[in-house]
Amino acid sequence: MDPSIRLRVLEEFERRLSAIHGSGFETNAGHAVYLGDAPQLGPDDPEQAIAILPGVEDPRWIAKQLLVLWPIEIHALAKADLGGGGKSWKAVERVIADIKRAVELEDRTFGGLLRRDSIERGAVRSREREPGNTTVGAIVPYIVRILEVWGDPT
């Protein structure tokens, strides 16, 4: 049985984001990619990380198919204690840039998983940080458009 389109989209996000290290990128945040959870970065964690958080889909009927608008938030994370001069936020900005480099390739179909131009980026925003949190960050939101047939999530 084929995996669902949702799972394959998440795996493609993971693949692209895990490539963030080395040549062509400013950070090595791809070494710490989390799916479904945005953890607090502690002393034993890397300075930067990325989290993929799937949102609530918005289904719309089109004839006998379902067009699903699915928000997926990519969180750029950095330790809050990297030093003065805004070093933590600058680290977040570098991760944001790397996320865009890794996800926003010319092929917006995710290797044929989606129809032409079926992914868009929304407005980047800061993550809320409660007192005592060890992590700062920002959210890079994407909207993925998936076409499904009733009863066939592949």
pLDDT band at 145 (very low <50, low <70, confident <90, very high): very high
Nearest residue to 74 via CA among 104, 44, 47: 104
Express each pLDDT in 23-32 by its tens digit.
999 999 999 9
For residue 140, give the nearest of 100, 85, 88 by alpha carbon: 100
pLDDT in tens, 47-105: 999 999 999 999 998 888 889 999 999 999 999 999 888 999 999 999 999 999 999 99
First to last CA, the chain: 9
pTM over 0.85: yes
Residue 71: per-residue pLDDT: 98
The confidence score (pLDDT) of residue 130 equals: 83
Least Cα distance to 119 among 143, 136, 137 occurs for 143
Query: Structural domains in the chain?
Result: 5-149 (3.30.2000.10)
Q: DSSP strand E in the chain: where?
A: 33-35, 48-54, 58-62, 65-79, 119-121, 125-126, 135-149
CA distance 87 to 83: 6
CA angle 42, 98, 57 (to 5 degrees): 85
How confident is the model at residue 115, as a pLDDT? 83
